[in-house]
Amino acid sequence: MALRLVADFDLQKDVLPGLLAQRAVLAVAGARGGGVGILENYDSLRVQNIERNGNIIYTYKDDKGNVFFGLYDRQTRQNEHLYTFETDFQVVSCSVNSERTLLAVSLVQATKEGRRNEHQPESKCLTLLVEIHPINNVKVLKAVDSCIWAQFLYPHVESHPLSENRLLLISEEKYIEQFHIQVTQEDGDKVVIKNSGHLPRDRVAEDFVWAQWDMLEQRLYYIDLKNSRTILKCIQFNADENFTLMFEASLDISLKDSGFKLVNFGCDYLQDQEKFSKHLSLCVFTNKTGSLCVCYSPKFDSGKQITYSVFYFHKGHSKTFTAALGSADSHVTKGITFLNLDCYVAVYLPGHFFHLLNIQHPDLICHSLFLTGKNEMIDMLPHSPLQSLSGSMVLDWNSGKLYRALLNQSYLLQLLWNTPLDCERMAVLHCVLSCGRDSRFLEAQIIQWISENISACHSFDLIQEFIIASSYWSICPETSNVDKLLPYSSVITWNTEIPGITLVTEEIALPLMKVHSFKGYWEKLNYNLEYVKYAKPHLHYNNSVIRKEWNNLISEEKTGKRRSTAYVRNILDNAMKVIFNLEARSLEPRLTPLFQEEDNHQRLLVGLMVSELKDHLLRHLQGVEKKKIEQMVLDYISKLLDLICCILEASWRKHNLHPWVLHFDRRGSAAEFAVFHLMTRILEATNSLFLPLPPGFHTLHMVLGVHCLPLHNLLHYIDNGVLLLTETAVTRLVKAYWSEDQSTLGSSYEFQYYFTESCEAIASEL
């Protein structure tokens, strides 16, 4: 499967064995009851909530119906008993504060079916605040007929105990309150609530129909309906005990008849999962680059296709995808699941499709991956409801398993080899490179694939796309906003159809920011929004801007009329820095005879690219040190050249060539011709993007051309600029031609004749 779920927590493995061991101890001792309780009903063991620090709250019942609350610490891998209610309640929601001294719980009277009895007026929801250590005092916060969900806030400042805890209560009556809870220590380790009879509270939101909690970033997203408009709002909870409305954004969707829905406020086991499986799905995803996406799937009834939309607010447009479900007898039993994978959003419909949507670069559909039900790997994800949490975490509530979601590198590489579709090759290439883990290995695997499929793609140039994409990913994760200044892809437009997918793209109104000072994520989001507003045309660097200057320098060199010597020396010094930087990063000696000559033309091109790219980044990167930008430029151009070297090295190694191919003593072998063909494709790829080549590339290409090509083809290649007559190549030819020891030309009269004719023909070209 393109997505790999790595287990981070399993209720059955991390909690259940300890409870069973405790039961055995208590059974031997003949003790029933007590502080921990005996687990009799395995099905009652459930995950209830996951806090910001990763701690997992779970509950279970003993044979008497008592409800036990436990906590699993994912750092220490230890379990801790929190509290016991000696009454048979059904848990709606619970949360514990960061110091584990307060427990907030919402409970309803349990029924035989384990659900809230909505038809009994006395079936109230109790929201309780419990002092865990050591007194176990209980305060009633709410006693109402509607359900209440509880969530403690976890400020970013966790270096010392807090004197005040803040608790959110979310009501089914469509309002959210924040309680301020002062605590104090008594008699050493006793932690009690101050003024428990009067807890200050704030009204955070009201009249909303949908809300989502971001536990990691401590953000609340909610939607209210105003004048028939659907408005998404976001509140940021801060460490200074304040909360701030950050933005409002209009959504072109209808939620009038959708009912009340909460996302990521623990797990509501009272809801009928089958009832909600085909209802609308709506969630907000962000990542560290400042992206803001709203994923929406309307209620699905039946049909041969299903539609969902993604609002890319950080890009100023939305995309509506319509996916074919296959045969007429296709039966949809589950709803769409959206999973946040940082740079990608996974869209999953069990048994039908799995899509990976590129969030940072959604403009071209070819940069997203669409796998259909024909792919046997579609069904490898769990069919039970999955909940996407912050940090690419995924929770399977039914099994009590918490996973870390990762792109599956091995599967993606396998798909790269096997898929016949250019759109999938393009998407997979970017997926693999974005993984960011063991980039050398991944690049080597891709290079091997390129060498075997050099002519397989018709919609784009494989070498171009690999060089541009890999260079981009080597730099962009390190510095924010660089993604808008460096090219992400060699492809500008994509008109080829994606099988089974229909796409409609529309411009949308940008979010209205409600604050004027930004930090962290909000600074990046605001930058993205400002970029959408004002950056016309796009600011991606294009090396063609130096073409005229490079041609002028070459012309001046030929005529001997040069501008300032200091100017040219500075350019060549830039090139030397790149080469030094490249060689310093090289892990092993190179097999190919590159970087063994001056090759001033390529060095001038490298040096000019350094100057122009540095100026480009300095103009548009605010707040980044000049020295850091200069190093970034050296790293980027070094990476470009290194990738070209690696492609050539892999082919050189595969065909077992040796440095003596530079001698003119024989005709070229099939291996040499294969390398010559690859070098020609590299040359085509770099020429159209006006990218530099490693010094010595043209000489090696020319020598292999003399070896491998018939005379008329050789001259044709020279006339059309495919083969360039470098000073080193010509010198080698002349020395071999005028060598007194004709044995260096080999024993074949045919080759001696061909070589002589070639030299005379080349001489006439000079």
pLDDT at residue number 589: 81
Copy the structure tokens of residue 418. Answer: 């096997």
Pairing of strands 337-341, 317-324: unpaired
pLDDT at residue number 33: 47
pLDDT at residue number 663: 67
Edge-to-edge, what's the strand order for the sheet holding 393-396? 3-10, 401-407, 393-396, 386-389
pLDDT at residue number 159: 54
pLDDT at residue number 186: 80
pLDDT at residue number 745: 44
Distance between first and last Cα of the chain: 58
Q: How far apart are CA 232 and CA 219, in angstroms?
A: 13
Transcribe 329-367 into DSSP letters: T----S--EEEEETTEEEEEETTTEEEEEESSS-SSGGG
Mean pLDDT by 10 residues, the chain (766 residues): 88 91 71 54 86 94 89 95 90 94 90 50 80 84 93 76 86 95 83 87 94 95 88 92 92 84 79 55 93 92 85 97 74 81 91 92 95 66 83 90 92 93 95 84 94 90 96 81 89 92 96 92 93 82 91 83 83 94 83 84 95 94 89 96 95 84 71 93 95 93 88 85 83 66 47 58 57
Copy the structure tokens of residue 94. Answer: 């619970």
pLDDT at residue number 210: 95
Kindly tell me the sign of the dihedral angle through the C-alpha atoms of 339, 345, 347, 348.
negative
Q: pTM of the entire structure? A: 0.90
